[in-house]
Amino acid sequence: MEPLSRRKFISRSAAATGAALLSPYLSSCSQMQTDMKAGYFLNEFGIDDAICRRLLETALSRGGDFADLFFEHTLTNTLILEDGKVNKSYGEIKLGVGIRTVKDDQVGYGYTQILTIESMQNAASTASTLVNLAKTPITKNFSQPETGNYYPVGSDFSEFPVSSKLPLMQGINEKCFSLSDMVAKVSVIFQDQVKKIMVVTSDGIKTEDLMPINFLYATATGQKNGKMESAGWELGGRRDLAYYDQDVIERISNEVVDRLNIKFESIQPPAGEMPVVLGTGITGVLLHEAIGHGMEADFNRKNTSIYSTMIGKKVAEPFVTIIDDGTIPGLSGSINFDDEGVPSQKTFLVENGILTGYLHDKISSKYYDVKPTGNGRRESYEHFPTPRMRNTYMEPGDATSEDIIKSVKKGIYVKDVSNGEVYIGQGDFSFFVTQGYQIEDGKLTSPIKDINIMGNGPKMLENITMVSDDFTLYQGGAGFCGKENQQVKVSFGLPTCLVKSLTVGGSA
């Protein structure tokens, strides 16, 4: 089949997307899985092994340690409901290939949106300008590594018309209004995406994947005594439509309205240094941001992380174990293999208080003389991969959340945070608390909001003095992590835990 130019592809895809508003608007995952096994990029764009070898040879024509190709075709569809009606519906398309040449820790990179031989060869030539040495040979034959399947997708969105999604969105809209007279406006977003990729490497790996991700997100705005507040919540991940049942409608609606009602009663607590209890689940974003980034190997290779010389050393109490796992079915950060073709795995970062390893891509794993951990990730074909987290969490401990709260005479309980800032080198962080409670004499009292908690990630890790036996993982699909102008999907989790002291920026 003749490779499609970008113009021809968009023309075809735009027509399909337009028709999708009245009919199925994503190709079937089950059908697409068949297509992927049969060679999606071969069948649709004519990208065969001979073309891949030719591109890799060009990328290494001036030398280099290795080269790889990253083909991508992504379809994203979004529905937005406001005032009980869908007022926006749109689709986005991304198609192209990124070509990388690597020498030591240096990267040459070229990409193109046009899958013709000429355009792809030009991108490969751009990547090759990194070095000026003798030609590096490539492996003649390609093979596919064994990988798991961590996307629990049976049926797919394409098996249902857009109209079948509207009851979900309208159900949340109606439920939110029914739960509280204070609700004045409800907005609901339903987004689903299918990302098809193919990774081909000069050392003989060739593998293809289909990566679904979707979410259902709602916000409610209310008014009480002349005061306006808003609250939101979402559920999603690498799911299929069957996941979004009546229970999900109830869970999202109840959470949104509960959060909204609590905001009207919330106060700013006193500021100062105090114990902070981090609630289970979404507060794991602190673990991700304040600690996890410092364990990505590129920062350590460049000596910009405080953990650069800490392998094998104590960084936390013995009851603290931190893991990054890309193999948990259905979570946003789960992947069958990373964007370098390395199979996903479970990676221990801190085990019983000891820093045991970093998150690696191929460049850092060579530098440290270890195996890659399946953390080489990128936003799209327009970017080259770097070490990135997947699903990062702390394992549960032996305490109970009740005992942890009872142990605090004066402090705060944090249920949810947002808008974090982290300085990787020092590990200093600041997060905005969107929901929580004061703790007074071992009890949760007044709800709190609109405060900052500040501290240092490594010191916070050292100062975790209790970890509970409860544990939840963030089950959303809208969350992403930004690093070096790239965004990738992630998840995180945390048991309830006690940090001995953090700075709380509340009222004077």
From 369, 68, 336, select the one nearest 203 (Cα to Cα).
68
From 474, 473, 462, 472, select the one nearest 499 (Cα to Cα).
462
The whole-number pLDDT of residue 159 equals 62
Q: Whole-model pTM?
A: 0.90
Render pLDDT for 342-389 as a digit per residue (tens, 0 to 9): 999 999 999 999 999 999 999 999 999 999 999 999 999 999 999 999
Domains of the chain, by residue range, sit at 6-263, 272-505
Please report, to the nearest 10 degrees, the dihedral formed by the alpha carbons of residues 400, 402, 408, 410 taken in order: 150
- What is the bridge-based pairing of β-strands 486-489 and 227-237? unpaired
Write the DSSP assignment of 131-195 as a string of letters.
--SSPPP--SS-BPPP-------SS-GGGS-GGGTHHHHHHHHHHHHHH-TTEEEEEEEEEEEEE
Strand partners, 206: 200
Judged against a pLDDT cut of 80, whether residue 177 lies above it is answered with yes
How would residue 502 be classed by pLDDT, with cut points 50, 70 and 90?
A: very high
Render pLDDT for 241-264 as a digit per residue (tens, 0 to 9): 889 999 999 999 999 999 999 999
From 110, 87, 473, select the one nearest 281 (Cα to Cα).
473
Render pLDDT for 480-493 as a digit per residue (tens, 0 to 9): 899 989 999 999 99
From 477, 508, 492, 317, select the one nearest 417 (Cα to Cα).
492
Render pLDDT for 463-475 as a digit per residue (tens, 0 to 9): 999 999 999 999 9
What would the two tokens of residue 161 be? 């018309």
HSE-up of residue 29 (Cα within 13 Å, Cβ side): 23
pLDDT average, residue stretch 445-452: 94
How would residue 160 be classed by pLDDT, with cut points 50, 70 and 90?
A: low
How would residue 6 be classed by pLDDT, with cut points 50, 70 and 90?
A: very low
- Calculate the alpha carbon distances from 305 to 290, 358, 485 in Å: 11, 11, 19
Judged against a pLDDT cut of 60, whether residue 111 lies above it is answered with yes
Q: Are the CB atoms for 354 and 325 separated by under 8 Å? A: no
Judged against a pLDDT cut of 70, whether residue 133 lies above it is answered with yes
6-263, superfamily in CATH? Answer: PmbA/TldD superfamily (3.30.2290.10)
How would residue 507 be classed by pLDDT, with cut points 50, 70 and 90?
A: low
Judged against a pLDDT cut of 50, whether residue 296 lies above it is answered with yes
Judged against a pLDDT cut of 50, whether residue 9 lies above it is answered with no
Render pLDDT for 55-75 as a digit per residue (tens, 0 to 9): 999 999 999 999 999 999 999
- What is the bridge-based pairing of β-strands 410-423 and 391-394? unpaired
pLDDT average, residue stretch 186-190: 97
How many whole angstroms separate alpha carbon 93 and alpha carbon 144? Answer: 27
Judged against a pLDDT cut of 50, whether residue 4 lies above it is answered with no
- Calculate the alpha carbon distances from 291 to 212, 375, 396 in Å: 28, 16, 17
